[in-house]
Amino acid sequence: MAVTESAFDPTQIPEKPTLDGIEAEWAQRWQDEGVYAFNRSATRDQVYSIDTPPPTVSGSLHMGHVFSYTHTDTIARYQRMTGKSVFYPMGWDDNGLPTERRVQNFFGVRCDPNVAYQPGFTPPFRGDPPKDHQPIAISRPNFIELCEELTHEDEKIFEDLFRRLGLSVDWDYLYTTIEDRSRRVSQRAFLRNLARGEAYTQEAPTLWDVDFKTAVAQAELEDRERPGAYHNVAFARSDGQGDVVIDTTRPVLLAACVALVAHPDDDRYKPLFGKTVRTPLYGVEVPVLAHPLAQIDKGTGIAMICTFGDLTDVIWWRELNLPTRAIIGRDGRIIATPPNGLESPSGIAAYEQIAGLFINQAQTKVVEMLRESGAMIGEPRAIMHPVKFFEKGDRPLEIVTSRQWYIRNGGRDTDLRGALLNRGENLVWHPDHMRHRYSNWVEGLNGDWLISRQRYFGVPVPVWYPVNADGDTVHDSPIVPTEDRLPIDPSTDVPSGYTADQRNQPNGFIGDPDVMDTWATSSLSPQIAGKWEDDADLFGRIFPMDLRPQAHDIIRTWLFSTVVRANFEHDSLPWKNAALSGWILDPDRKKMSKSKGNVVTPIDLFEKFGSDAVRYWAASARPGIDTAFSEDQMKVGKKLATKLLNATKFVLTFPQPDVEAKPTHPVDLAMLARVAETVREATIAFDQYDYARALERTEAMFWWFCDDYVELVKGRVYNSQGADAAGSAISALRLALSALQRLLAPFMPFTTETVWRWWQSGSVHTATWPNTAELGPIGDSAILDPIGEILSQVRRAKTDAKTSQKTAVTEATVSASESVLAAFELGRGDLSDAGSVRSWVTVAGAGETTVSAVLAPPEPAS
RNA sequence: GGGCGCUUAGCUCAGUUGGUUAGAGCUCCUCGCUUACACCGAGGAGGUCGGGGGUUCGAGUCCCUCAGCGCCCA
């Protein structure tokens, strides 16, 4: 029995109880008492483990965090009260571009893996370097050290906010995504993928951001509508039989053209297949080919294939075995030297006109040259069309050929895709329809997961390559470290069997210069949080985890990539359940945005309404549903908290008459039946992850308890009907209150803890979740509605007479059915007290229940 | 173009295998300082459940269709 009443001292209850300032007090006591400490002696079946999303520390916490983390916390608290040892860690995401930029701007440094590590390095600035300051290049290990220094302050602020919100996190299991342990996990998992053939390196056309100068994965793309223009361009047939006119939005790529393509069934172009044409301006001879991806009804029905204008070009290039004529460099400029095949003097002269220009400048130049040459047919026709962007980028992506690392994800392998789809099927989704987002994404993959990034800050790809006697890098046989060396940085660490002076030398080695995509590390959050391999005992107790809570916009990235890694490494799902939270919307239903300037910070709301009230607002939202920000809901939450305070104070005014006292009165037993029903409903709802329903049922019960039941029996507890009748009511009140406080504990941890400790020992948050058995024998709740209806009608009579509710009724006549009258008799004494009714007359009949009341004259003012 | 979700009172939302006069809170109106609570209580007003069609004894709930809003993916 985890619920034990402490020796109750009524003087412990303040005369005017308040909720002001309770957050800081309880947060400290919970920490001191270890209320949320994970009990790692618990076996897997006794553990409930949560794969918490690590917030990005370079931003700030906003209402969206408060919203979704509250949802998870209610589940964690429920599970803890059912007796589970809850593994609820927190992580900070400090690996990635946003942190990299902040470190640069704060310290006036930049990360350069070619620089040697400098122990005890002091940055030139700590905040606000002057505008003309040139960033100092420092090694990656030094950069990571500065990152940890900078994020430390923010992490403290985040932690304080989450504590103030009342998250029942065990802070002893805190992790960050750039710390040694995370880098070790990330690199170890990668090396195992490599050893099993799940990771591979390949030189291939890759989507490339020219500003960030890095490759970008499919999951990070987005389409944006951009203005463009179709240009009709004439290609001269090599056989002199006239021109072929193509349609293109990117005449700038004419120099990269390797073929023309039309649909195999297109009668207009069938005679041309196998023949050649010459590119305008450059005079390069290219074949006319057939491929089913060419669209008959688009433009002139024949297109030029360039290396590379878009992803369709890549498919054509691959499937038609075409040569490569790259003209776009990684810096977004036209490459200085003409591509292979462009050899005629006039062609070279034309190319020199655009060499070195940015793409849009070159496009203008090419159009101008086409006009002059007469190859432009008519004027460009403006259109809007979707263009691929890096989701964080400002310029359209280009496609360049480069060597990259990939992890297989089913994008090129039907069997693996089927296995991953099957994983999604076996995951329990909350709400269920979110599973479609997953299957849509997996079914639409068109390539493996590109994990290498040409950035400097991040978790390095942990391999080196041999350099042969000619000084060439041998990419086919990477040198890998043993796992006990991890984490390593190939830019500073030396592979075993080599010496440092062999770096970048013939017959020596070279470090892989790239880092891994942040998702390649984040996808291992269960392994990082659970200390995979570093603490196998712990990991065995928490994995696979029970719950992944996250936002629905990162199903394709975080959720999917985590499934991929667990599938390879553990041949299992990483968790049993995934709970997808919705967005916070402005009251006008638009997605909340900082730019609108109306964003309130969480801390202001905590101070204005109290944390429990803010949590109440969050927990009122159905799982996965976008929800309007509403201070009104917080006011309601605050009202509920205040009510709980006062109702508890009232009930505890009446000490338990004696230990053996049990509810016996039919009205009391009926009330307990309703509480039992609420316990059942709330438990079922929580087991289905529907915290909002659990709250709604509990809240409705609690208000009925206060407004109706307490008012009904108030006279009896003041001894109007004798000691036994009072004892029944008092013990029933206390049984119900105990259950209600615990039912509300997941939602209002601060208020419930306050009132619980007035009369119980220990924390409400480690108390047993209420069950129906503890309520003892229960009665027939059906008698409550008729009794309530009669009381309501008595009250209405007083309201209609515009008189006080304490006005006495000299005689009340109840006309009702036999069954209603039977209920009335059971509640007669309480109704007399609650309605100040001096005498009753009953009339049995068939129709509706009606009560007519004769009111006593108002008391003369004294 | 494909997929998913949403549309119920002025506002925010419940409504769980179709079942009696569709519920709650907020807002609004009236009344009441009744010894747990004025950070309160009592009572009341307010909806042809987005439109149309169908199945059924019976539809907010199931089916079809149209419209609007939102998100995801091409």
Phi (first) and psi of residue A192, to 5 degrees: -70, -35
Burial (Cβ within 10 Å: 0-12, 13-18, ≥19) of residue A731? buried
Check pLDDT > 90 for residue A181.
yes
Quote the CA–CA distance of A678 and A12 in Å, as a whole number: 30
Q: Which residues contact A125 (CB under 8 A, 6 or more apart)?
A: A106, A107, A108, A133
Give the pLDDT score at A587: 59
Straight-line distance from CA A632 to C1' B32, in Å? Answer: 25
Check pLDDT > 90 for residue A38.
yes
Straight-line distance from CA A623 to C1' B6, in Å? Answer: 14
pLDDT (tens digit per residue) in A611-667? 999 999 999 998 988 888 888 889 999 999 999 999 999 999 998 878 778 999 999
Give the pLDDT score at A592: 53
Q: Could you tell me which of A736, A200, A745 has the C-alpha nearest to residue A447?
A: A200
Give the pLDDT score at A591: 54
**Element holding A684 (H helix, E strand):** helix A666-687
Task: Please state whether the predicted TM-score (pTM) of the whole model is above 0.80.
Answer: yes
Please tell me which residue, A845 or A248, carries the higher pLDDT value.
A248
Average pLDDT of the residues in A383-389: 85
Please tell me which residue, A58 or A82, carries the higher pLDDT value.
A82
Q: Could you tell me which of A513, A481, A478, A505 has the C-alpha nearest to residue A494?
A: A481
Nucleotide nearest to A553 (CA to C1'): B72
Check pLDDT > 60 for residue A690.
yes
Distance of CA A217 to the CA centre of its chain: 20
Give the pLDDT score at A218: 80
Please tell me which residue, A510 or A632, carries the higher pLDDT value.
A510
Give the pLDDT score at A384: 82
β A302-306/A257-262 pair status: antiparallel
Nucleotide nearest to A433 (CA to C1'): B4
Nucleotide nearest to A446 (CA to C1'): B74
Alpha carbon distances (Å) from A369 to A121, A251, A253, A781: 55, 11, 13, 89
Reported as a pLDDT band with limits 50, 70 and 90, residue A599 is low
Average pLDDT of the residues in A796-804: 87
Check pLDDT > 80 for residue A553.
yes
**Element holding A542 (H helix, E strand):** helix A536-542
Q: Which residues contact A144 (CB under 8 A, 6 or more apart)?
A: A178, A457
Nucleotide nearest to A628 (CA to C1'): B12
**Amino acid whose CA is nearest the C1' of B34:** A806
Neighbours of A292 (CB within 10 A): 10
Check pLDDT > 60 for residue A862.
no
Q: Mean pLDDT score of chain A, rounded to an integer?
A: 91
- Computed over its alpha carbons, how large is the radius of gyration of chain A? 36
Check pLDDT > 60 for residue A594.
no
Give the pLDDT score at A96: 84
CA geometry: angle A795, A797, A802, nearest 5 deg: 95
Give the pLDDT score at A101: 87
Nucleotide nearest to A639 (CA to C1'): B39
pLDDT (tens digit per residue) in A454-496? 888 899 999 999 999 999 999 999 999 999 999 999 999 999 9
Straight-line distance from CA A626 to C1' B53, in Å? Answer: 32
Residue for token pair 């040459």: A373
Task: Tell me whether 0.90 is exceeded by the ipTM.
Answer: yes
Check pLDDT > 90 for residue A50.
yes
Average pLDDT of the residues in A782-809: 90
Check pLDDT > 50 for residue A595.
no
- % chain A with pLDDT above 90: 66
Straight-line distance from CA A330 to C1' B43, in Å? Answer: 75
Give the pLDDT score at A8: 53
Straight-line distance from CA A833 to C1' B35, in Å? Answer: 15
Reported as a pLDDT band with limits 50, 70 and 90, residue A593 is very low
Give the pLDDT score at A9: 58
Average pLDDT of the residues in A564-580: 96
Straight-line distance from CA A444 to C1' B73, in Å? Answer: 8
Least-confidence region, from A1-10, A141-150, A376-385, A654-663: A1-10
Straight-line distance from CA A633 to C1' B53, in Å? Answer: 40
- % chain A with pLDDT above 70: 96
Check pLDDT > 80 for residue A1.
no
Nucleotides, chain B, CB distance < 7 Å = 2-5, 12-16, 24-26, 30-34, 36-37, 39-44, 69-74
Average pLDDT of the residues in A689-696: 94
Q: Which residues contact A778 (CB under 8 A, 6 or more apart)?
A: A669, A670, A672, A673, A676, A772
Nucleotide nearest to A793 (CA to C1'): B43
Give the pLDDT score at A589: 52
**Element holding A360 (H helix, E strand):** helix A359-373
Alpha carbon distances (Å) from A121 to A124, A279, A360: 10, 57, 43
